[in-house]
């Protein structure tokens, strides 16, 4: 089955810095890669996604890049703010398998 | 409207009880999912329904029984659960293959 690896498990940055979270996937048939933000006590919220026929996608301060040959994709958050603090999950579709999550902490 | 509604928000049940979790969406999505999430862990896929038919069952114990009565509703029937089944149960829906939206989950405690 699909295996999704996510790094780092924790990430601490200062407000205004950039944050990068990386994921790799195993199933070359996976064709859709969403990223979710989960705040304490809430369900995961879709923040950005990318299809396998696209290399990069940007939405304001958030961008995602995909290298299909290497089977890895990354989330980039620029100008981080304290409200960006949460757990971030990558996923791969196949069967919508999640990575292990990254706890992002943005210090004011 | 990207809302997936789950009820109840919290549930405490004994090991001999029978209870059901409910999920509803009105986005016209034809894929619906049940996930289980333990603390500090990612969501784990349990079941997927596609066009109201069960398409994926991730070897989930039979004490969990899913049901999709129509394209807007998804239920998870619970019977004879164990304390280790305590977790956040998440429902999601999507057009098949893309953009899954999650509900806020049901926090289940088995005593």
Residues of B in contact with A31 (CB under 8 A): 97
Gap from A52 CA to chain B (nearest CA, Å)? 12
Please, which pLDDT band fits residue A1 given cuts at 50, 70 and 90? Answer: confident
Q: What is the mean pLDDT of residues A59-65?
A: 97
Is the confidence at residue B1, as pLDDT, over 70? no
**Of residues B34 and A41, which shows the higher confidence score?**
B34
Specify the higher pLDDT residue, A96 or A84: A84
Neighbours of B111 (CB within 10 A): 10
- Is the pLDDT at A96 greater than 90? The verdict is no
How large a percentage of chain A has pLDDT more than 70? 100
Contact check, Cβ <8 Å, B100/A96: yes
The residue of chain B with its CA nearest to that of A34 is B99
Residue pLDDT, tens place only, B42-94: 999 999 999 999 998 988 999 999 999 999 999 999 999 999 999 999 999 99
The residue behind tokens 């292990």 is A100
> Phi and psi at residue A17, in whole multiples of 5°?
-75, 170
* pLDDT above 90 for B99: no
Nearest residue of B to residue A44, measured between CA atoms: B102
The per-residue b/e assignment along B72-104, b for 16 or more CB within 10 angstroms, e otherwise, is: bebbbebeebeeebbbbbbbbbbeeeebbbbbb
Are B100 and A101 in contact (CB < 8 Å)? no
Average pLDDT over chain A reads 95
Interface of B with A (CB under 8 A): 4, 6, 33, 40-45, 48, 56, 90, 92, 97-105
Has residue B97 got a pLDDT over 80? no
């Amino acid at each position: 089955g699909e295996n999704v690896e996510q790094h780092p498990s924790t990430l601490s940055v200062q407000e205004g810095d950039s944050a990068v979270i990386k994921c790799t996937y195993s199933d070359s048939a996976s064709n859709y890669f969403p990223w979710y933000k989960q705040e304490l006590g809430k369900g995961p919220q879709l923040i950005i996604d990318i299809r396998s026929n696209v290399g990069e996608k940007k939405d304001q301060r958030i961008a995602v890049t995909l290298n299909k040959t290497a089977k890895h994709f990354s989330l980039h958050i620029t100008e981080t703010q304290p409200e960006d603090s949460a757990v971030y999950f990558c996923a791969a579709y196949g069967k919508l398998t999640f990575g292990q999550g990254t706890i992002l902490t943005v210090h004011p | 409207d990207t809302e997936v509604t789950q009820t109840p928000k919290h549930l405490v049940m004994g090991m001999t009880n029978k209870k059901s979790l409910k999920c509803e969406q009105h986005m016209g999505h034809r894929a619906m999912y049940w996930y289980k999430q333990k603390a500090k862990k990612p969501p784990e896929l349990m079941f997927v329904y596609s066009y109201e038919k069960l398409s994926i069952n991730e070897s989930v114990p039979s004490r969990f029984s899913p049901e999709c009565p129509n394209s807007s509703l998804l239920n998870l029937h619970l019977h004879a659960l164990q304390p280790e089944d305590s977790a956040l149960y998440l429902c999601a829906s999507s057009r098949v293959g893309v953009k899954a939206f999650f509900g806020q989950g049901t926090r289940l405690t088995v005593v």
